[in-house]
Structure 1
Amino acid sequence: MYIVMLAYKAPIEEIDYLLPDHMEWLSRHYDAGHFLCSGRRPERTGRVIIARPMPRVKLEAMLATDPLHTARMVQHEVVEFEATRTAPELAKVNEALVG
C-alpha cells in the first residue's frame, strides 16, 4: 500500500482553480479501484491519498497525470508500507488487500 503526501507549491487560489480537475482525476482512480481514501491536510497545505498495493511505477505514472502535478503546483511524496494490522472496522478491507 502507499501513502501519498501532496504538498502545495502554489498559492491556494491557484490550487482552488484546479481542484475540480484534481477531483475528477481522483474519481477516475477510485472508480478503477486504485485509491482507498483521500482528503485535505490541515490548514490546506496539501492532500493525502491512500493507494492500494500495485507496482510503484504504476502509481508514479498515475501521479504524473494529476492536474495539480502537471501544472507544477504540487509535490508528491510516496511512502510504501505493508498493512499488517487494522482496526476491526477495516479488517475486511485489509483481508481483501493481503488476500
Structure 2
Amino acid sequence: MFIISLTYKTSLENVEHFIREHNDFLEKYYSSGHLITSGRKEPRTGGIILADAHSKEEIQDIIKEDPFYSNDIADYEITEFIPSKYNEHFKSFIKNS
C-alpha cells in the first residue's frame, strides 16, 4: 500500500480550475481498484490518497496521469507501507505477504 501526499504549489483558484479533471483521474483509478480513499488536507494545502499497487514505480506511472501533476499544481510524496494491524472491516484491502 502507498500513501500519496499532495501539496499544492499554486493558488486554490488554480487548483479549482483543474479539480474536475483531477476527480475524473481519481475515478478512473477507483474503478481499476488502485485507489482506496482520498481527500483534501485540512487546512486545504493539498490532499491524501491511499492506494494499492505492486510497486512504487506503478504509483509513479499512475500519478503522471493526474492533471495536478501534468499542470504542475502539486508536489507528490509517496510513502510505501505494509499494514500489520487493521480493523476487520478493512480486511479485504489487506494482502498477506
Superposition TM-score, scaled by structure 1 size: 0.92
Alignment of 1:1-99 (within 5 A): 1-94=1-94, 97-98=95-96
- How many Å separate the matches in 1 of 2:70 and 2:53? 24
Rounded to whole Å, the distance in 1 between the matches of 2:76 and 2:21 is 17
Moved more, 55-64 or 24-33: 55-64
TM-score norm. by structure 2 comes to 0.93
Counterpart contact for 2:4–2:76, Cα < 8 Å: yes
Q: How many percent identity over aligned positions?
A: 25
**In structure 2, C-alpha distance between the alignment counterparts of 1:61 and 1:91, rounded to whole Å:** 26
**Secondary structure at 1:43 match in 2:** coil
For structure 1, the residue ranges without an aligned partner over 5 or more in a row are none
Within 2, Cα distance between the matches of 1:76 and 1:98?
27
* CA deviation profile, 1:15-55 (whole Å, cap 9, x unmatched): 01100000000000010111111011001110100011312
Q: How many residues align?
A: 97
- Offset at 1:64? 1.2
Distance in 1 (CA, whole Å) between partners of 2:55 and 2:80 is 10
Which structure carries more helix by proportion?
1
Unaligned runs of 5+ in 2: none
How far, CA to CA, are the matches of 1:61 and 1:53 in structure 2? 11
